[in-house]
Amino acid sequence: HNNNNASRGAFIVMEGVDRCGKTTQCGLLLDQLRSDNIPAVAMRFPDRTTAIGAMINQYLTGGTDLDDRAIHLLFTCNGRAIVLGMVQQSDVGLPAPDAVIFLDLSQEEAQQRGGYGEERYETKDLQIRVRQRFQKLQQLDTQVPWHVVSAAQSIEEVQADISKIVEKTMAQAKHKKLGKLWQ
Ligand code: ADP
């Protein structure tokens, strides 16, 4: 929006290792926002509904084999399609989130959750490395505030923590320009 006085919504990213509760919490948050009459949309990455997403899904669920570079490119294409299509900005450059909510869960705790181990990346060593990378990424990211929430709490407790962060983020984002990632 070009009008400087116009307020905008907030762009919030939910992150964390497989099975930490991203799907559960995004669903609950969406329900809560909508019942408060706050319009909200959820985007999922990877988006398994696109043609490229279907290829990623086949890879993740073990149906096809691809080398690491090929799958990386597919993930990149899948993300760009979402960003360009949904945010509809002509600039190429990813919009920076107003906040990242990191649902932190140890590998041991994740392993006890339903469905763990069904997908290709859900192996012990890889998930431990993913968690470490997230911690590094958080230190590198000086622009976007990261909020670490313990995902080992009950669903209701996690939801309450997220709710507070989202409320604050929305209030702060209202009159701020949307930033660009790594710029
Ligand atoms: P993700 O989207 O991060 O992979 P999900 O939301 O699909 O995670 O949750 C994975 C599994 O863990 C599901 O079976 C879900 O019901 C369960 N789960 C989610 N949050 C919690 C929680 N706080 N405590 C216990 N189990 C949970």
CB of residue 156 inside a 6 A radius of ligand 1: no
Residue 41 backbone class (left: φ over 0; alpha: ψ -120 to 50; beta: rest):
beta
5's tokens: 């006085």
- Distance separating alpha carbons of residues 112 and 143, to the nearest angstrom: 34
pTM: 0.80
Distances (CA, A) of 94 to 11, 69, 82, 183: 12, 21, 10, 10
Q: From 18, 19, 118, 157, give the residue whose CB has the most ligand 1 atoms within 8 Å, as the site to mutate.
A: 19
83 pLDDT tier (thresholds 50, 70, 90): very low
CB of residue 24 inside a 6 A radius of ligand 1: yes
Q: Which range in 42-46, 56-60, 88-92, 176-180 is most confidently predicted, on average pLDDT?
A: 56-60
CB of residue 114 inside a 6 A radius of ligand 1: yes
Centre of ligand 1 to C-alpha 183, Å, is: 34
CB of residue 19 inside a 6 A radius of ligand 1: yes
CB of residue 158 inside a 6 A radius of ligand 1: yes
pLDDT of 6 over the 90 cut: no
151, 19 in Cβ contact below 8 A? no
- Edge-to-edge order in the sheet of strand 12-15: 12-15, 99-104, 146-150
- The model's pLDDT over 91-127, given as tens digits with 9 standing for 90+, comes to 346 778 899 999 999 988 988 887 777 787 778 888 8
Residue 57 makes CB contacts below 8 A (sequence gap 6+) with 46, 48
Show me where the domains of the chain are located: 12-37+91-173
* CATH hierarchy code of domain 12-37+91-173: 3.40.50.300
CB of residue 97 inside a 6 A radius of ligand 1: no
**What percent of the chain lies above the pLDDT cut of 70?**
86
Centre of ligand 1 to C-alpha 28, Å, is: 12
CB of residue 76 inside a 6 A radius of ligand 1: no
